[in-house]
Structure 1
Amino acid sequence: MEQEMKTKIENDEDQKWVYDSSVDHKGKVPLRASTGVWKASLFIIPIELSERLNYFGISTNLITYLTKIIHQDLNMAAKNVNYWSGVTTVIPLVGAFLADSYTGRFTMVLFSSIFYLMGLFLLTMSQFIPSLKPCSTTIGMCNKPRKIHEVVFFLALYMISIGTGGHKPCLESFGADQFEDDHPAEQRKKMSFFNWWNFALCCGLFLGVTVIVYVQDYVSWGLSYLILTITMAMSIVTFCAGRSCFRYRVPQGSPLTPMLQVFVAAMRKRNMTCPSDPALLYEVPKSQKIQGRLLSHTNRLGFLDKAAIIEENDKKSTINEKKHDPWRLATVTKVEEVKLLLNTVPIWLT
């Protein structure tokens, strides 16, 4: 009887805390009752709605602004829109790397949101400050806008692009971090969270391509940008208000880092010759392999094998039981993982 009571108390204690490697805002083990789940999600979903509203409110009518207000020809306007869309698509790769390796998701979302807001503020000011407006108010017909307006407008656009780069890879993942996968009740709530997440995303998109575009076409561009700026500012305040309710993950390093390490190590040893016997390449002993499995050497992409060549300095480190520099020496398994990834590139391209 005592044993059953003791077991029950231990189980209750385990349920009280969240043991999934997350921490609270003080860096301690999170208390389940006061962190995560819906109490945290309600502070996260509004900023996603706001970001999608802003992005589609700007991008949907961007080519119209470039042709009618800045008076670019259609080819130049289309080219500028494509450049901006391309940068906006690529920047999230950088944001994801920085979040995984250094900042963490919350910090990345917060700073990218502030950067996003700065871009929106600049965009709004370009419509209201007389010296930044496309044309002087004393001119009746404007066929060529001021150069300063073009500079400020495109600077604001690319600041928004950078801000989007922190949102896309981090915000949804941060929302998922608020639910423990091994807890049945939270796992069910997590599925519901993604449903509401997509609902908010679609609402932001819908309002952006209807209400905001209507204001731009029939009221004024300045008012539409002002609405977007206020919306983003309010969502940032809401997001910060939930700081004490969030569960955080400590940065563990980006999956891209081992890949970069293999390339750097191979480049450093580009003038060396690979041994004819693959067994002479570096690999950790099976007894030291904690998780995963070792991959066998293959002959494909032989240049990358140079990353696993053991130099004299590496031998000394082994004797002195020092850790090897991962930017100078990679295991055969890491090299093979990179090879497997590169072999999928033709599939991506087709």
Structure 2
Amino acid sequence: MEIEGSRRDQQQVNWEGYVDWRNRPAVVGRHGGMLAAFFVLVVEVLENLAYLANASNLVLYLSKYMHLSISRSANSVTDFMGTAFLLALLGGFLSDAFFTTYRIFLISAAIEFLGLLILTVQAKTPSLKPPPCSCSPCEEVHGGKAAMLFTGLYLVALGVGGIKGSLPAHGAEQFDESTAHGRRRRSTFFNYFVFCLSCGGLIAVTLVVWIEDNKGWQWGFGISTLAILLSIPIFVVGSSRYRNKVPSGSPLTTILKVLVAATVNSFQYRNPSNAIVSLNTSPLNPGQRTTAGPDHETQAPDKPKDRAASDGGESANRESLRFLNRAVAVEKPVHASLQCSAQQVEDVKAVIKVLPLFGCTIMLNCCLAQLSTFSVQQAATMDTKLGSLKVPPASLPIFPILFIMVLAPVYDHFIVPFARRATGSETGITHLQRIGVGLVQSIVSMAAAALVEVKRKRVATESGMLASGGPLPITFFWIAFQYLFLGSADLFTLAGLLEFFFSEAPSSMRSLATSLSWASLAMGYYLSSVIVSIVNGATARTGRRGWLSGPNLNSYHLERFYWLMCLLSLLNFLHYLFWATRYKYRSNK
């Protein structure tokens, strides 16, 4: 009985800080687990269906029905998608600081529903769109019609951002990370989260895109509206099973406080009466501190000899970014509000150390942005017939989606167990190794895209259709190569990033840290727009048209642009290796 009581007490400690949907303490065995995460996975299918059904085909909607130019349509899509993913930081911040991930999802889903409803009404009503035209140039959408279009789009972006910033963290919080079994189940959750992303995407880029192209965009927007509406009651059904992390205040305030305190206290070194305390936040001695002079830190006299072996990651963390150690305390602090705990300093260090790795993934997502813009335009000039069926160009993402749907279960159930036995690591290969594999595949994908574009233009020249713009006598299956490599890169990198940020971040900042995965996507889409503008401006100065401008895609030098992206991706990978080989994992595996 005493053993059972101690186990029960230990479980209660592990569940401390979690509540149910009524703000009552979460109960072991009643809340959390795979069943609770299952509702999250089902909701993610519907949420990504609603988002990707429009995002994947939006460039054609803007150019064909709203009469925007190809370049402006492409930039509008990347700006919209970039904003949606960047707003995930807002969703993650609010989840950590003021609300639970449970509430943020419900609020965000309602906002996305409102945005999709506006777009559906506009697509259905001819008077709310520019008049159709049969000759060029056509009248671009403007005035109130443009305001309605972009209001709907950016309400959707706000809703998507909130969902992306809360839903992955909400699912991951259902598992007990104090046990190896719980950590493995959490890793499985992230793999299947990407799998469910692909399931929603599969329906979006096949059924919904076909309906948009053949039945009308009002039906496509309508299906997306229905999907996000349906996700709300499904999510609510699982309420009694969820455990929700109690918000612990603004993580940004903690970060700013530590940085300011470290800077202010650094000047106190010159005052002998103020001794700076070094950090010793071991689980064995959580409150122990030692004084040190301005140029060194001394070790605790009663520190166990085997301690370094048991907390290698935490010891390395204390030795890194030592400037921040000065934030812990001075005997006479400048102001009481600048008094920081050792744990707060370690939390801020953990966040700062992942930022360079976060930056190294932006270039991969810049490559991914091409799947929604120029790759779709390439396919639109090619033969998209599959037997008697004509495949919409926006359905091309089906190639990476199917690949991810096959690879995700294979990776989780076969590759990871084999790698786990070989390496002794719980995750098989480390998170950073997994991300690195994705970065290499992005390099290969851009090289494949450049070679395919060379072949496409050669066919256009040989068939005498270089000026007409197509359709060309070349199958769209050639585009599948770049999609397959980028799809595989997305699986390795996105799932790796989500788990890496969640497991390495402090518990009070996990939603915000997980949102960095989506912020990387946002930065990639924004960077894509910037690179397109810079390339056009730089190459147009020679007196010729820019690489990415002209009357049709055949007049573009898209192959040069892809080679440039390949080179930038290679340099980015080398940059990633520099940081990844020096990173010390915070969590004790």
- Segments of structure 1 that go 5 or more residues without pairing to the other structure are 1-5, 318-323
Q: Match for 2:45: what amino acid?
A: L
Deviation at 1:228? 0.6
Which stretch of structure 1 is more off in the superposition, 140-149 or 24-33?
140-149
Residue 37 (structure 2) pairs with residue 41 (structure 1): yes
Deviations 1:320-343 (CA, angstroms, capped at 9, x unpaired)? xxxx213x8787983995599379
2:201 corresponds in structure 1 to 205
Q: Are residues 282 and 163 of structure 1, via their aligned partners in 2, closer, same or farther at CA, if it must alter by over 3 Å?
A: farther
1:325 corresponds in structure 2 to 337
Deviation at 1:200? 1.8
* Contact map agreement 1:120 1:228 (CA 8 A) in 2: yes
Alignment map for 1:286-301 (pairs within 5 Å): 289=287, 295=318
Q: Match for 2:2: what amino acid?
A: T
Higher relative contact order, structure no. (Cα contacts within 8 Å, ≥ 6 residues apart): 1
The CA distance in 1 between the partners of 2:165 and 2:345, in whole Å, is 24
1:341 corresponds in structure 2 to 352
1:321 corresponds in structure 2 to none
Q: 1:134 aligns with which of 123, 126, 129?
A: 129
Deviation at 1:179? 2.6
Deviation at 1:254? 5.3
Which stretch of structure 1 is more off in the superposition, 213-222 or 24-33?
24-33
The CA distance in 2 between the partners of 1:309 and 1:8, in whole Å, is 41
1:20 corresponds in structure 2 to 15
The CA distance in 2 between the partners of 1:73 and 1:36, in whole Å, is 49
Q: Are residues 140 and 197 of structure 1, via their aligned partners in 2, closer, same or farther at CA, if it must alter by over 3 Å?
A: same
Provide the TM-score with structure 1 as the length reference: 0.75
2:236 corresponds in structure 1 to 240
Q: 1:59 aligns with which of 55, 58, 74?
A: 55
Q: Are residues 332 and 60 of structure 1, via their aligned partners in 2, closer, same or farther at CA, if it must alter by over 3 Å?
A: closer
SS state of the match for residue 325, structure 1?
Answer: helix
Deviations 1:24-44 (CA, angstroms, capped at 9, x unpaired)? 223333344543324423432
The CA distance in 2 between the partners of 1:240 and 1:45, in whole Å, is 13
The CA distance in 1 between the partners of 2:355 and 2:3, in whole Å, is 50
Q: Are residues 122 and 248 of structure 1, via their aligned partners in 2, closer, same or farther at CA, if it must alter by over 3 Å?
A: same
Deviation at 1:79? 2.0
CA-based RMSD of the aligned residues comes to 4.3
Q: 1:230 aligns with which of 226, 232, 240?
A: 226
Provide the TM-score with structure 2 as the length reference: 0.47
Q: Are residues 87 and 281 of structure 1, via their aligned partners in 2, closer, same or farther at CA, if it must alter by over 3 Å?
A: farther
Q: Match for 1:24: what amino acid?
A: D
Alignment map for 1:233-272 (pairs within 5 Å): 233-253=229-249, 255-264=251-260
Q: Match for 1:221: what amino acid?
A: W
The CA distance in 2 between the partners of 1:11 and 1:335, in whole Å, is 30
Q: Are residues 29 and 217 of structure 1, via their aligned partners in 2, closer, same or farther at CA, if it must alter by over 3 Å?
A: same
Q: Are residues 38 and 128 of structure 1, via their aligned partners in 2, closer, same or farther at CA, if it must alter by over 3 Å?
A: same
1:94 corresponds in structure 2 to 90
Count of aligned pairs between the two proteins: 329
Identical aligned residues as a percent = 26
Alignment map for 1:135-174 (pairs within 5 Å): 135=130, 143-145=139-141, 147-174=143-170
